[in-house]
Amino acid sequence: MKILLSILALTLCVAPLADAARSVTHLALPERTGEQLYTKYCVSCHGRDGQAKTQKAKFNHTRNIADREWQDAVSDERIFNSIMNGRNVRGEMPAFSKKISEQEGDALVTYVRGLKK
Beta partners for residue 12, in sequence order: none
The domain limits of the chain are: 32-113
Check if CATH label 3.30.360.10 holds for domain 32-113. no
Model confidence pLDDT, tens digit, residues 4-63? 555 545 555 555 555 554 444 444 557 899 999 999 999 999 999 999 998 888 888 899
When pLDDT is cut at 50, 70 and 90, the band that residue 112 belongs to is very high
pTM recorded for the entire structure = 0.72
Backbone torsions φ then ψ of 93, nearest 5 degrees: -115, 115
Check if the beta carbon of residue 37 is closer than 8 Å to that of residue 104.
yes
Q: Is the pLDDT of residue 83 over 70?
A: yes
